[in-house]
Chain A
Amino acid sequence: MDRHVIVEQAGITFDTNQGPFVALREVNLTVKKGEFVTLIGHSGCGKSTLLNLVAGLLHPTAGHIFVAGREVAGPGPDRAVVFQNHSLLPWLTCFDNVHLAVERVFRGVEPKARLKARTQAALALVHLEHAAHKYPNEVSGGMKQRVGIARALAMEPKVLLMDEPFGALDALTRAHLQDELIKIVAATGSTVVMVTHDVDEAVLLSDRVVMLTNGPAATVGEVLEVDLPRPRDRLALANDPRYMACRRAVLAFLYQKQMKQAA
């Protein structure tokens, strides 16, 4: 399973009022099983579009996408998505939000008690057992995002897709959730593709950072192998020369090679 997620010459063109708009062109990317890959690029470069292609929420107009050996034809629970704005259903408790996903994937395969246990376990993974019976509007933004992560992980997806999951959170909460995500991924061995615009987040979390060129017609510009040992600790890394080198490489790509003209 060396090539778990394969994006092959993928491109997408949107029909707009001003004629066709080429968002992505000839994107090639492979993700190994258990690998953590981040997509980084300036806003509007199409990194979320690429993620949505893998999720199946959008269809490529060129090329192919395979996950675990099958071509992506549409969205499905084997490619769970954590959305930027948590996307919890406000009329369901945190427990029920997660349970809805668990039910969808494991109902009929496992007894009901087991489904409940799975939901509990997913909430325990993100340390939210105590908030299980609260509604989303009764918990903080960081907790909502953790419920979103629990919902995605509870489905035991083949690949976990995260679309700027911490983008709407304050810096401290974001750091806290990043640390938690590191632990969760280490514990579950999940394959993760994550979109971010945060250089530190990308370097801290990933095995590889995939840098996209500016749109329109964006594509993969550079790929950086982040060769830092795990488990990673943000304080220890802050002065680590290898960490700084990675950081510098991404920054150089974003601010020298792909300078974004001020709009």
Chain B
Amino acid sequence: MNAALSRTLRPADAAPPRAVVRPLPYAAAKPPAPAAPAPTAAEPRVSAAAARRRRAEVALKILAPLLGIVAFIGVWALVAKGGSIPGPMTTFDAAKAVFADPFYRNGPNDQGIGWKVANSLGRVGIGFGLAALVGIPLGFLIGRFRFLAGMSEPIISLLRPVSPLAWLPIGLLVFKGAQPAAIWTIFISSIWPMVINTAVGVQRIPQDYMNVARVLALPEWKIFTKILFPAVLPYMLTGVRLSIGVAWLVIVAAEMLTGGVGLGFWVWDEWNNLKVENILIAIGVIGLIGLALEQSLLFLAGRFDYAKDRS
């Protein structure tokens, strides 16, 4: 979201140099205007082309997404006319009510939207955090030792495609509680991308770097801190990003089944109350938080991208 915003701002800032620099090859490609007629005439033509291009850029960066949103709301309104789901205006009014008091508490199962989000994020945080604690070291081991990779491959291949919710009953049985069962489900379904990406990262470390380690005869600990970890970090962060995405997908479904305070249970609860506009609000909130998680990790990953180099 942030990145999109800053991108839309940039063309305006950079306008003056762009107008001068860009058109040159374009103008040169045409037969150069004969010197006699008008050196002044060439300039307006050039800047007109630049302005046209700038307008096209603005249209692409701002207008297109805006138009998409408007079209989406339009279709939504049209569908809502059919009467089965609430329209944009009804939903907007309901949202105003929901967000007016986000942190109220009327007993254990009736709390404000703020608490619902916080609870869901908390579960995701714990389940995902545990998964990272186990998955990343496991990925390093699997990547470093081929025997371990061979051992774990059949297990991972078998368990990875299992639908997350299939793990929920096991969690209920073992941990004897809805809350830990939900966390367990997050854990087991979000661990795989981190294990696999970290392992691939370790396996793909350029031989050059390992040769440096060998020529320097670095001790294993230095190899880890100076070479292995920084080289794997971009892969690891990709794994983390995918994992958080999975965790956020799973939490809603898990909460629908386990109940308690949270976005998933809220969706189910409002379905039972037949307050469909609140379900739509929940969908919007879930989407926005997922987007925010994804973007912040993309931003983080961008800061550790050494791949730009390699010349």
Give me the interface of A with B, judged by CB distance under 8 Å: 55-57, 74-77, 79-81, 83, 85, 87, 89-92, 100-101, 104, 136-137, 141, 144, 155
Contacts and interface: CB of A to CB of B under 8 A. Distances in A.
Contacts of A56: 214
A91 B209 contact: no
B212 to A, nearest CB: 5
B217 A77 contact: yes
A92 B225 CA distance: 12
B215 interface: yes
A89 B230 contact: yes
B306 A137 contact: yes
B308 interface: yes
Nearest to A79: B215
Contacts of A74: 214, 217
B226 interface: yes
Interface of B: 208-209, 211-212, 214-218, 222, 226-227, 230-231, 306, 308-311
Please provide the 7 A-B residue pairs with the shortest distance between their CB atoms, ordered closest to farther.
A137-B309, A90-B306, A87-B208, A91-B230, A75-B214, A90-B309, A104-B216
Nearest to A140: B311
B212 A87 contact: yes
A83 B208 contact: yes
25 contacts: A57-B211, A74-B214, A74-B217, A75-B214, A75-B215, A77-B215, A77-B217, A81-B211, A81-B215, A83-B208, A83-B212, A85-B208, A87-B208, A87-B211, A87-B212, A90-B309, A90-B310, A92-B226, A100-B216, A100-B222, A104-B218, A104-B222, A137-B306, A137-B308, A137-B311
B217 A75 contact: yes
Main secondary structure of the interface of A (DSSP, over half): loop
Contacts of A104: 216-218, 222
Nearest to A105: B216
A76 B215 contact: yes
Nearest to B208: A87
Contact of B215 (A55, A85, A92, A141): A55
Contacts of B215: 55, 57, 75-77, 79-81
A110 B209 CA distance: 26
B216 A101 contact: yes
Contacts of B216: 77, 100-101, 104, 155
Given A57-B215, A100-B226, 17 more contacts: A56-B214, A75-B211, A75-B214, A75-B217, A77-B216, A81-B211, A81-B215, A87-B208, A87-B211, A87-B212, A90-B309, A100-B222, A137-B309, A137-B311, A141-B311, A144-B311, A155-B216
Contacts of A101: 216
Contacts of A89: 209, 212, 226-227, 230
